Homo-oligomer: A and B are copies of this chain.
Amino acid sequence: MLIVQKFGGSSVADTAKLRRVAGIIADAKNAGNDVIVVLSAQGDTTDDLIAKAHEISPEPTRRDLDMLMVTGEQISISLCAMALQEMGVPAISLLGWQVRLRTSSDYGSARIRSLDTERIRQELDQGKVVLVAGFQGVNRRGDMTTLGRGGSDTTAVAIAAKMHADLCQIYTDVEGVYTADPRLVPTAKKLKEITYDEMLELASMGAQVLHNRSVELAKRYGVPMEVLSSYVRKPGTIVKEVTKGMEETKISGIARDDKIARIALVGLKDEPGIAYKVFRVLAREKINVDLILQSIGRGNTKDISFTIPKSELEHAGKALSAEQDAIGFEHINVTDKICKLSVVGAGMINRPGVASLMFEALAAAQVNIHMISTSEIKISVLIDQEAADVAMRAVHKKFFEE
């Protein structure tokens, strides 16, 4: 088998942890696999480098910041190569530019364009474990770039895709994907399998096990992923296109997102084009809108409510208030004391009963629902944040414990 393994920063934070990671890699190699490894920077290295840059300049130039940051992953792979060789496992470390990982020129958030697998193939053919620095690439100019959030996961999936790997393992500090966050719902169960789409919904709900970007890439190229722990040697959760039992509409999990806020515009004119006027302002300000609820007009006015990331609340409020006359609303209500709860499961659209089961659980727990949104594989409700813990356990119990 050809396996790509990715280890995050906390998994390689110090010498002892690096040795444990090297042990996991050595086991995979000694079991007869070809192994490619992608590493993040050790522990807080990236943050420390950014802090150093900010000591020099409040707004360091992005090109130089990338030039600085890529050293973190370079340190990880060279140390890990030493650790493997110390265990008698032949290994070689390669930087982004050495595997011709070409990206766009957006320093700090570059997109992968291409990757030359020749060098990786050569080294694998010589029996070596190939360690590739995550998070980094080079642009057309030959300058160093970084991939931004989820960069190392994305590097791993991109390499797995190009090399036609059998599996891309993402090692983290959790044992896999759960039916709900185990810190919030102690009875949560680890899933054996989950589809890309379900994983995308869960990730965007704040499950934070995998970054959407890497899952999207895996889905596009059909790369099977496995989320597993670098601390416990157990099978994790496999993420792939079709999972067993999908015909029976399996519910994969309950996700919760607290990082949202709701804005309500009250007393808008009930006339065509009014929604466009509102959301044009938000689009101009590059603010992502999630749930949208438009009331049925009463007389000649109506209301529009929508959710946005909590971090954008102030920005959005200001932008809309500045356009109050142009848009034409009476007043604006904002709150960030809300929470979005979602039930995720492939093929849900064929089982309308799922929604009613969810609403039944919430009603029994006396939780009031503000907004509802559905998609092919998800039902989300907006509820008060103070009700979220109770609601989550009630819904989880309904779907997984009864």
**A residues bordering B, Cβ < 8 Å?**
15, 18-19, 49, 52-53, 55-57, 60-61, 63-65, 67-68, 70-71, 74-75, 77-79, 81-83, 85-86, 92-93, 95, 97-98, 119, 142-144
Contact = CB atoms under 8 A, between A and B. Distances in A.
A68 B64 contact: no
Given A52-B15, A67-B77, A74-B68, A82 B97 contact: no
Most B CB atoms within 10 A — which of A65, A67, A77? Answer: A67
Dominant SS among interface residues on chain A: helix
Task: Please list the 3 inter-chain residue pairs (A to B) with the smallest Cβ-Cβ separation, ordered nearest first.
Answer: A71-B71, A68-B78, A67-B78
B52 A64 contact: no
A47 to B, nearest CB: 14
Nearest to A60: B82
B85 A64 contact: yes
Given A15-B56, A53-B79, A86-B56, A93 B64 contact: yes
A72 to B, nearest CB: 8
Given A64-B93, A67-B93, A97-B97, 11 more contacts: A18-B56, A49-B75, A52-B75, A52-B79, A56-B83, A61-B81, A64-B78, A68-B78, A68-B79, A70-B74, A71-B75
Count of chain copies: 2
Nearest to A143: B98
A49 B76 CA distance: 11
Most B CB atoms within 10 A — which of A68, A93, A97? Answer: A68
A186 to B, nearest CB: 38
Most B CB atoms within 10 A — which of A52, A56, A81, A144? Answer: A56
8 contacts: A52-B79, A53-B78, A56-B82, A60-B85, A61-B81, A61-B85, A97-B97, A119-B142
Nearest to A22: B56
A265 to B, nearest CB: 42
Contacts of A52: 15, 75, 79
Contact of A78 (B15, B65, B85, B86): B65
Contacts of A83: 56-57
A53 to B, nearest CB: 6
Nearest to A42: B52
A19 B55 CA distance: 10
A71 B41 CA distance: 12
Contacts of A144: 95
Nearest to A14: B55
A243 to B, nearest CB: 40
Contacts of A86: 56-57, 60
Contacts of A95: 67, 144
B81 A64 contact: yes
A215 to B, nearest CB: 31
Contacts of A64: 78-79, 81-82, 85, 93
Contact of A15 (B49, B55, B65, B71): B55
Contacts of A71: 71, 74-75
B67 A74 contact: yes
Contacts of A98: 142-143
